Structure 1
Amino acid sequence: MFEFFKRKKKEPEANENLVVSFAANDSILQGYKQKAQEQISYLIDFIKENGDGIEKYGEVLFNYGVKVRFEEGDEAEHMWVKVSEFKDGYFLGELNNDPNTMKLIKCGDKVNVLVKDVEDWILQDLLTKTKVGHFSNAYVKGNANRDSQ
């Protein structure tokens, strides 16, 4: 089932620290969230089969992440959570971004994310340098490039 990694082309590393603003009702991002939700069982099944990344020869072979909306008062940010486990309908992990406006959470905080709240997800094979998911990446990067010009 997971032979996909042996066929996928390698992708260059991307800047993962982008801060980009979008309208709350951005229809393109909503479409990516729908796609992520439709395919999230792939990530869940992979985590269940491979655990917390399978450590062999002292190295972790896989990383998992989910993007979710965090709210604090009137502020909202969409940030990545590095997933360590899937249990009882939740992704368990730690916040993998430094919030831009939020004060009550910080990078490294332990968080639980319900499946229904996932807006995007990524599965990285560190051995083959391939990725699955990460549906909104090109759109977010394209808007970041436009904002910086």
Structure 2
Amino acid sequence: MENNPIFFADGTDPKMLEAYRKAQETFKYFWREQSWEYRRIIPGLSVSCVKVAFSQEDPSSDTPAVEHMWINNINFDGDFIKGYLINNPNTLTNVAVGDYVEIPLNEISDWLFAMPQRAKKATGLSKLFSSSSKSPLPKAYGGFTIQKMRSDMSPAERRAHDEAWQMDFGDFNDIEIVYEQKEHPENLVEHPMSRNMKDELVKFINENPAEITGQDRNGYTLLHTETIAGNLSSVEVILKAGADKSLKTNSGKTALDFARQLNWEHLIPVLED
């Protein structure tokens, strides 16, 4: 991505500030997809990254210099987003490509993932006369600041932008945040892999009962991590297996705390019960 053209925008623009807010509010869906990506045998995401505002004191100005750049190899503990910078800064000298960063959720400015699209089957005359075998570009999800910038472009500029990114960004007025959102609106409530892997999780817990009570070095249990990822079926299986909802991380948070913090509305009643 570091070779893509850079499109500049006014960070004080109310619509851009609204894009930042939406990205922070919906980041949980990015993490839900990314957490399942780490479990896939065959990768499903062609792109997965988060945009962060990096800053540095500017001796010639009363305000710091700011550049919004992308990080990847993302991890998330419910509080902090962690990853590695993949862009070359234009002016900043306090960060460089490959630097590891940890930032709170409320400081990101965007997120983006892309997945391959299923090729549409040609029918009728289109099938008879079609000579193109070109696969559709990966579909982009999220990208709120990108869509704001695309909305300010001419149609020709948008085509050039999308060609540079090699992604299908769709309609800038209709931003999707989960895979096949229109075809399967239930995916907004729960990731399909959470539903489909429910029996496998039951089997795993039966074979590894210590996983229910185990805590990592930061105090996170399986219930914590599945709650942060918004996986209802997984949470229900873990609770049924006897998980202790009162266990806290080293920072003092229960699974319910994370459900409330991330506003996973479908998990809060389950963890409160």
Rg comparison, structure with higher value: 2
1:93 paired residue among 74, 83, 90: 83
Q: How far 1:107 moved relative to its partner?
A: 1.5
Name the one with the larger helix percent: 2
1:66 paired residue among 36, 50, 55: 50
| Cα-to-partner distance string for 1:87-138 (whole Å, 9 max, x where unaligned) | 2422221111110001121112111222111111112225762221011213
User: What SS is found at the alignment partner of 1:91?
Assistant: strand
- Overall identity of the aligned pairs, in %: 23
CA contact 1:51–1:85 (8 Å) conserved in 2: no
Q: Which runs of 4+ in 1 moved over 4 A?
A: 141-145
Distance in 2 of aligned mates of 1:121 and 1:114: 14
Q: How well do the aligned residues superpose, as a CA RMSD in angstroms?
A: 2.9
Distance in 1 of aligned mates of 2:22 and 2:3: 21
Q: TM-score, normalised by structure 2?
A: 0.41
CA contact 2:9–2:149 (8 Å) conserved in 1: no
1:46 paired residue among 29, 33, 53: 33
Name the one with the larger strand percent: 1
CA contact 1:66–1:120 (8 Å) conserved in 2: yes
| Structure 1 pair 61–124 and aligned structure 2 pair: CA distance change class (3 A) | same
CA contact 1:47–1:86 (8 Å) conserved in 2: no
Partner of 1:4: none
Q: How far 1:53 moved relative to its partner?
A: 6.9
| Structure 1 pair 90–23 and aligned structure 2 pair: CA distance change class (3 A) | same
Q: Does 1:23 align with 2:10?
A: yes
CA contact 1:20–1:143 (8 Å) conserved in 2: no
CA contact 2:2–2:88 (8 Å) conserved in 1: no
Distance in 2 of aligned mates of 1:28 and 1:53: 36
Partner of 1:84: 74
| Structure 1 pair 15–92 and aligned structure 2 pair: CA distance change class (3 A) | closer
Distance in 1 of aligned mates of 2:113 and 2:33: 9
Q: TM-score, normalised by structure 1?
A: 0.70
Instruction: Provide the aligned length of Structure 1 versus Structure 2.
Output: 129
